[in-house]
Structure 1
């Protein structure tokens, strides 16, 4: 089965992914290439939990990712799931450091219903076997913890995974377990991190444990990783569910080590005319250091950059004491914080509209009116084709202005500048009313 992409760039093969543990997942990016499975007779098979094996397909059985097969084991046979075929299997074997091909066993056949019945019956006994084995180890006063039990596919062998801080003599335990369960016993020691990865869980970050999802190799974690990052050495916060230091302490330690090289030593004192300053704390990633005038308590705290601290150290070596820790040029008002979510606001476009329409609402003082006035000024000053220069036009305009004014005054109707007489309360005589041009009688 193949899923075709709509852009026509190729196909997405569903055989590349399969049902398997996340730690052991291998994406077969060559699965959709014709003839890939016949390139190599080696096959990768996964069993319960974090156990993988490589087997030879000597019978040339057509296998695909996800097929359940019966493979050779000592003694009997085991049941597993095919997780990888083709050209990538030799590369995975090289990564797992498997060199001798003499120890590589072969695949018998695809699993039959009879094989699956035996397999399911053996798996159903694993939990009860683990509980009883823990009680037997406790009765023998052994300082160990049995974390998991895995039965072989045919039920003839059981693998006991245990955790112990010191060397344990479990020869007597093997005899008691063999008599109790009537199977062949194999003991495998694992660490606390491997046990947490097998059990799984949710970390304090809210995500599934790294050891249960993608981590395959566990690097030792020391308290120096917490010291480099200025993390308080609180065992309750630094320890994970495995009671060991969290693996995520190693994720950013290299970045902190590089950033700490740009900071001066904590033991160096800064001498100024105001007094001596001692190291109080540092923000490693932002390259900021806080100094105090007292060596034991925070007093008169001043925060400067690492570059400024190195400048003062250089001046002190030459016997010069600066006036203060802070530079004069850097004594500016702190910048206002920038709202990074402002660009996602739904009303970010309304502010510009208010500024544009504000001129009409506020009596014509808005941006639109100003822009119109500017356009008019620019258009009035631009010389057009066939016109005279600007200086000659200015003189001609000065001569034409008084003529235009006279013409306008002649066209306008003349106003009567005489004032109206004051109103009298006496009744007016009836008759013809005086015209506006008639002048009142002078007394």
Structure 2
């Protein structure tokens, strides 16, 4: 079984996985690995005894090029130190210019001639004065790239509420649109804390199982529908799509669990305002009020009738 090494490039970044191949590496070793359009140095954070730490095929991971030399390690440490200095300088200058932006990451190329900052902002930012200050202080070409909050999460990396690495940082190649409808189709509670990812947007994993839920939900009574069995008439208050069962409340608000094959009739009902009915008593009370209203209207018309 092939082994995969988790390579880290700085203390603040999550690791990337590389195939070890025939090399002999140990935890803490510095290696030269493919990165972006070139190569860079990183250190081995861990060695996985299995080929697929993220559930993907081992062939999807690039291979470690070679062990780094002492000179390359010294250059790498110098580069990381300069990036930390550049980050601190940029944040200080942003505060001085009172710019509404948040610096996310900084990257300095191997030649030290170009410094790229990534930032997030709610709107367009005029950072020309900031670029002039940074170029004069760092004596390099400065680039500032505005990214979205989802891109920021992908760059910074991290772990989701599931305990696994963020999907966007692990294997996503492009973001797909996620809608609240996907959560509704899976009968997930619409609580922001349960639906939002580290980026503050809807979690990408809402799209993973949604097609299966939609297919399995076909033919199931919707919540709020009136169902009848051989000996029961009740209102659907909850349903378990995977278990293919529904939870219903009768007129006494007693709860029952029914299998789909027990349901003989399904009637979708709404109140007079088109809202979903939550209790059978509400529907009956509304019907009584409607009848009383009709009688009152008739009496009123009779009193106003010409003599």
In 1, distance between residues paired with 2:154 and 2:140?
27
Question: C-alpha displacement at 1:256, in angstroms?
Answer: 1.2
Alignment of 1:98-109 (within 5 A): none
In 1, distance between residues paired with 2:6 and 2:227?
62
**Which secondary structure does the structure 2 equivalent of 1:281 belong to?**
strand
**Which secondary structure does the structure 2 equivalent of 1:269 belong to?**
strand
1:46 aligns with 2:34: yes
Question: C-alpha displacement at 1:119, in angstroms?
Answer: 4.6
Cross-structure match for 1:312:
265
2:257 to 294, 303, 306: 303
- The question of whether the paired residues in 1 share the 8 Å contact of 2:247 and 2:257 is answered with yes
Superposed structure 1 runs of 4+ greater than 4 Å apart: 17-29, 111-119, 271-276
- The question of whether the paired residues in 2 share the 8 Å contact of 1:23 and 1:214 is answered with no
Structure 2: gaps spanning 5 or more residues: 9-13, 23-32, 43-67, 268-307
1:190 aligns with 2:147: yes
In 2, distance between residues paired with 1:289 and 1:280?
8
Distance 1:217 1:20, change over 3 A: farther
Cross-structure match for 1:147:
104
Distance 1:133 1:308, change over 3 A: same
1:134 to 91, 94, 106: 91
Cross-structure match for 1:230:
187
Distance 1:263 1:27, change over 3 A: farther
Cross-structure match for 1:205:
162
Q: Which has the larger radius of gyration?
A: 1
Distance 1:275 1:306, change over 3 A: closer
Question: C-alpha displacement at 1:266, in angstroms?
Answer: 3.6
- The question of whether the paired residues in 1 share the 8 Å contact of 2:150 and 2:199 is answered with yes
Structure 1: gaps spanning 5 or more residues: 6-11, 32-44, 55-67, 69-78, 82-110, 315-443
Return the structure number with greater relative CO, CA threshold 8 A, min gap 6. Answer: 2
Distance 1:186 1:207, change over 3 A: same
In 2, distance between residues paired with 1:125 and 1:279?
62
Distance 1:305 1:140, change over 3 A: same
Question: C-alpha displacement at 1:221, in angstroms?
Answer: 2.6
- The question of whether the paired residues in 2 share the 8 Å contact of 1:119 and 1:155 is answered with no
Cross-structure match for 1:168:
125
Question: C-alpha displacement at 1:112, in angstroms?
Answer: 8.3
How many aligned residue pairs are there?
231
- The question of whether the paired residues in 1 share the 8 Å contact of 2:115 and 2:141 is answered with yes
Cross-structure match for 2:219:
262
TM-score by length of 1: 0.44
Alignment of 1:397-408 (within 5 A): none
Distance 1:259 1:219, change over 3 A: same
More strand by share: 2
TM-score by length of 2: 0.61
In 2, distance between residues paired with 1:301 and 1:215?
43
Question: C-alpha displacement at 1:147, in angstroms?
Answer: 0.7
**Which secondary structure does the structure 1 equivalent of 2:247 belong to?**
strand
- The question of whether the paired residues in 1 share the 8 Å contact of 2:41 and 2:73 is answered with no
**Which secondary structure does the structure 2 equivalent of 1:187 belong to?**
strand
In 1, distance between residues paired with 2:73 and 2:229?
81
**Which secondary structure does the structure 1 equivalent of 2:90 belong to?**
helix
Cross-structure match for 2:248:
291
In 2, distance between residues paired with 1:120 and 1:286?
55
Deviations 1:226-278 (A, max 9, x none): 21222222212322322222222222222211111131334542357977522
In 2, distance between residues paired with 1:306 and 1:143?
55
Cross-structure match for 1:281:
238
Question: C-alpha displacement at 1:118, in angstroms?
Answer: 4.5
Distance 1:232 1:24, change over 3 A: same
Deviations 1:17-54 (A, max 9, x none): 6665788657699x9xxxxxxxxxxxxx733xxxx227
What RMSD, in angstroms, separates the aligned Cα atoms of the two structures?
3.7
